[in-house]
Amino acid sequence: MVTAPPGSAVPRLVVAAPSSGSGKTTVATGLMAALTARGLAVSPHKVGPDYIDPGYHALATGRLGRNLDAYMCGPGLVGPLFVNGARGCDIAVVEGVMGLYDGAAGEGELASTAHVAKLLRAPVVLVVDASSQSRSVAALVHGFVSWDPEVRIGGVILNKVASDRHEALLREAMDSVGVPVLGVLRRAPRVGVPSRHLGLMPVAERGSEAVGAVAAMAAQVADGCDVEALVGLARSAGVLSCAGWDAGEVLASSPPPPLPVPSPGAAPPEPAAGPRPRPRTRPRTPDGPRRVAVAGGAAFTFSYAEHSELLAAAGAEVVVFDPLRDEELPEGTGGLVIGGGFPEVYASELSANEGLRKSVAELALSGAPVAAECAGLLYLCRELDGLPMCGVLDASARMSDRLTLGYRDAVAVSDSALAVAGTRMRGHEFHRTTVEPGAGATPAWGMRTPERRVEGFVERGVHASYLHTHWAAEPGVARRFVERCRTS
């Protein structure tokens, strides 16, 4: 019987590249699937805030894909979050983000793949797009190896190689660098994953096509890479000296700030313009778990695993529902979380589901806590590209030609179901839509970087914003949200 090592000692490696588009996702996902096919329990991870790649990782391994973000969560949480995800696994594969040394803008190495690799004491495999070079590949790899001596590049995988002759030239060049070639992958369009305005198409939207794509990636890696050598490299990782992150433990040591107390005689805020549905009575269960509905399905695929774990540890019963299919919120819902995704792609279907839109509006009008990020913000608006949405917010959303992308340093402007005014959190924006107005009478966040502005909406129990946050960085958010379920 094989006993998996503790998370702090699990063999691990980081799949990185000189730049985006080099083939990291193909190699990382294919390696995860190839190792899983060998009977290994593989722990999948992704550097940075990306939600889409972890979906492919989960398909490849049968385990939740988890993010490691040194900006949003802080460098000190990278190790503990990794150890939590790697519990009970035989090996871990971490897919990098952008180029190896690309991090948060203006913050040096912070949140780069190199930074996370050092925090994890993990060796790096560099995936190089060799399609338009031969001997120059040696100079490129030499530069990446020598740039930061603390980053250990243990091998190279040459991707998009055209022929046997091309491979021979590349291998001859690499002999002069002293970095082993651990794989050579030929050009293979069949493993490509289609993209659109915000990157790869998520697994939830592709069904059997995604399964086939992952199988093709696994076959390509198994055929073109020295998998045994990659496993050996992973076993050379150093032992981490940190304990694993645990939702229950961090909540116990992170008491939430107090709930806001309304001023005497203060009137509740007015709801958004439009029809006012009659609030539905929600059953109160003072001694049982509070049911928190979490949006899922193809339209709302963006969420971090730790959010649901924190909600459950705070005493919630987490129930996932699909706004494209379910005509009402789950019975007994006392709180609602709507994360990111692609409501703009499914606007017609979401609008046509009038029963659920009314159910969401009723819950929001009752004062129950509703946390909405990005796609969730759009869904709560009066309309999206001219199609009726939930009408919880008196705001209109539409697609835009402008991409908004980047890390943000934010502070809570006002008390809400998530945080008290003054709470500072780091997050990420990633969208090609706009909302007008961009902030309500009571904004959600004051953005400190890259420019100072207010953004989002706090109305009744609703907290809606474009900002994606990672609750592991501020675990009291989850307890405060569940406590609001009890008092609303």
Does residue 402 contact residue 432 with C-beta atoms inside 8 Å?
A: yes
- For 378-387, b/e burial (b = at least 16 CB within 10 A) is bbbbbbbbee
Q: Which of 374, 381, 390, 485 is catalytic?
A: 374
Does residue 340 contact residue 90 with C-beta atoms inside 8 Å?
A: no
Neighbours of 2 (CB within 10 A): 7
Q: How far apart are CA 247 and CA 435, in angstroms?
A: 34
Q: How far apart are CA 33 and CA 222, in angstroms?
A: 9
Structure tokens at 298: 């193809």
Does residue 21 contact residue 209 with C-beta atoms inside 8 Å?
A: no
Q: Is 374 known to be catalytic?
A: yes
Structure tokens at 416: 């809400």
- Pairing type for strands 468-469 and 424-436 reads antiparallel
Residues in the chain: 488
Q: How far apart are CA 137 and CA 175, in angstroms?
A: 11
Tell me which DSSP letter residue 387 carries.
Answer: E
Residue 339's nearest CA partner among 309, 368, 303, 369 is: 303
Structure tokens at 440: 């309500």
Residue 65's nearest CA partner among 96, 102, 94 is: 94
Q: How far apart are CA 245 and CA 81, in angstroms?
A: 5
Structure tokens at 425: 């959190």
Residue 457's nearest CA partner among 405, 386, 382, 400 is: 382
List active site positions: 374
